[in-house]
Structure 1
Amino acid sequence: MNLYAVRAIYHFEMSRTWRTLMQSIASPVISTSLYFVVFGAAIGSRMAEIDGVSYGAFIVPGLIMMTLMTQSISNASFGIFMPKYAGTIYEILSAPISHAEIVMGYVGAAATKSMILGLLILVTSEFFVTFEILHPLWMIFFLLLTSVTFSLFGFIIGIWATGFEKLQIIPLLVITPLAFLGGSFYSISMLPDIWQKIALINPVVYLISGFRWSFFGVADVSVGVSIGMTLFFLAVCLGVTALIFRTGYRLKH
């Protein structure tokens, strides 16, 4: 394995983050903090507990996961789209580096940014609400698994996109609505029976449920199912990525 090439791509992508610190890190943290102020402090103080957890604490995993998904997609899609846009993607494809190593460099950097962002939001949330993490190792595992999975999904979007506007279509019109409807601010057990069954079609429900379990030991679906669904989505993204490089879809033309 050409670790030097992987490290070069990784460091290049990470250096872009430090150059745009306000946009990459500060802006998402500040935006999420506003959610804590509005939903956690203002509204949460007037709401009853959910599954024995105060509402302000209950929404912490949902907000972290929502930010993690959108930022993972954004970081990875922009990272691979820019070489396509600038025409430097041909230099990468002709370099002595395998397709797997290219993916490792770009997806690894995007996942690292998302992990840092998720941990920063976790620390920031403690200024607004009080909570304890029952399963910290599982929490880190869900953070890592979600970051890698959605960074890989974002990598696919970056290759598929033919313009800057397309980079925002999936995150804005698909991921964000699914995150809001996936139990970020409520438990799906609060819904009528028919809507609970419909909610289970939403894959984001399983991500948020498993992540919330790592905090409070409560979940809408079993942890095993949450992990299985995430791994399934990861496997699909890996398969699509392999197909893209095999066919040269929007890479060679």
Structure 2
Amino acid sequence: MNIHAIRAIYRFEMARTGRTLLQSIASPVISTSLYFVVFGAAIGSRMVEIDGISYGAFIVPGLVMLSLLTESISNASFGIYMPKYSGTIYELLSAPVSVGEVILGYVGAAASKSIILGTLILATARLFVDYQIEHPLWMLGFLVLTSVTFSLFGFIIGVWADGFEKLQIVPMMVVTPLTFLGGSFYSIDMLPPVWQTVTLFNPVVYLISGFRWSFYGVSDVPVGISAAMTALFMLACVAVIHRMFATGYKLRT
């Protein structure tokens, strides 16, 4: 394995984050803090408890997951799209670097940024609402697994996109709505039976449910299914990326 190549890609991507701290770190933290202020402190104080949990604390995992998904996709997609846009992707393709090493470099950096961001949001949430983490190891596991999985998904989007506007289509038009409809602000048990069944087809439900379970021990679906669904999606993304590089899809033109 070419450790030097992986480290070079990783350090380059992390250095880019250091140059754009306001956009990549501060902006998501401030935006999520506004949700905590409005829904957690203001509206949450007037809401009834859900599954024995105060409303402000109940929405913490969902809001963290919302930022985690969108930022993981954005970081990874932008990271691989810029070499395509500038033409330096050909240097990468001609270098003695395997697909796995490229993935480890770009996706590893994007996932690291998301994990840092998720940790900062959790620390910020403590200023507005009181929450607990019953299963910290599971929480960390879901945090890492989700960051890696959706960084892989973002990498696919970055390869597929042929314009800056396409980089924003999936996060804004698909992922964000699915996250809001995936139980970020409510339990799916509160929905009518028909809509509960429909909601189970939303993959984000399993992410939020498993992450919330690691906090409070309550979930809409079994935690094992949540972890399995996330891992399955991660493997599917790896297979798609490998196929893209094997065929040169939108990489050699």
Using the size of structure 2 for normalisation, the TM-score is: 1.00
Alignment partner, residue 159 of structure 2? 159
Alignment partner, residue 222 of structure 2? 222
Cα distance between partner residues in 2 of 1:243 and 1:195: 36
Cα distance between partner residues in 2 of 1:129 and 1:41: 7
Cα distance between partner residues in 1 of 2:72 and 2:243: 21
Work out the percentage of aligned pairs sharing the same amino acid.
Answer: 72
Which runs of 4 or more aligned residues in structure 1 lie more than 2 Å from their structure 2 counterparts after TM superposition?
none
For structure 2, which runs of at least 5 residues remain unmatched after alignment? none
Cα distance between partner residues in 2 of 1:202 and 1:169: 18
Q: CA deviation at 1:132?
A: 1.1
- Mapping 1:207-246, distance limit 5 Å: 207-246=207-246
Alignment partner, residue 118 of structure 2? 118
Aligned CA RMSD, in angstroms, stands at 0.4
Cα distance between partner residues in 2 of 1:86 and 1:239: 26
Letter in 2 for 1:22: L
Cα distance between partner residues in 1 of 2:84 and 2:243: 18
Cα distance between partner residues in 1 of 2:100 and 2:248: 14
Cα distance between partner residues in 2 of 1:54 and 1:111: 30
Cα distance between partner residues in 2 of 1:224 and 1:122: 23
Cα distance between partner residues in 1 of 2:183 and 2:229: 16
- Mapping 1:51-62, distance limit 5 Å: 51-62=51-62
Alignment partner, residue 75 of structure 1? 75
1:176 equivalent to 2:176? Answer yes
Q: CA deviation at 1:223?
A: 0.3
Deviations along 1:8-42, whole A, 9 cap, x unmatched? 00000000000000000000000000000000011
Q: Secondary structure at the match of 2:183?
A: coil
Q: Secondary structure at the match of 1:52?
A: coil
Deviations along 1:107-147, whole A, 9 cap, x unmatched? 00000000000000000000000111000000000000000
Q: CA deviation at 1:5?
A: 0.4
Q: CA deviation at 1:189?
A: 0.4
Letter in 2 for 1:143: L
Cα distance between partner residues in 2 of 1:192 and 1:46: 23
Deviations along 1:197-252, whole A, 9 cap, x unmatched? 00000000000000000000000000011011101111110110111011000001
Alignment partner, residue 11 of structure 1? 11
Q: Secondary structure at the match of 2:59?
A: helix
Cα distance between partner residues in 2 of 1:131 and 1:19: 33
Letter in 2 for 1:52: G
1:185 equivalent to 2:185? Answer yes
Letter in 1 for 2:140: I
1:140 equivalent to 2:140? Answer yes
Cα distance between partner residues in 1 of 2:102 and 2:190: 44
For structure 1, which runs of at least 5 residues remain unmatched after alignment? none
Alignment partner, residue 27 of structure 1? 27
Alignment partner, residue 149 of structure 1? 149
Cα distance between partner residues in 1 of 2:131 and 2:165: 39
Q: CA deviation at 1:96?
A: 1.1
Moved more, 231-240 or 118-127: 231-240
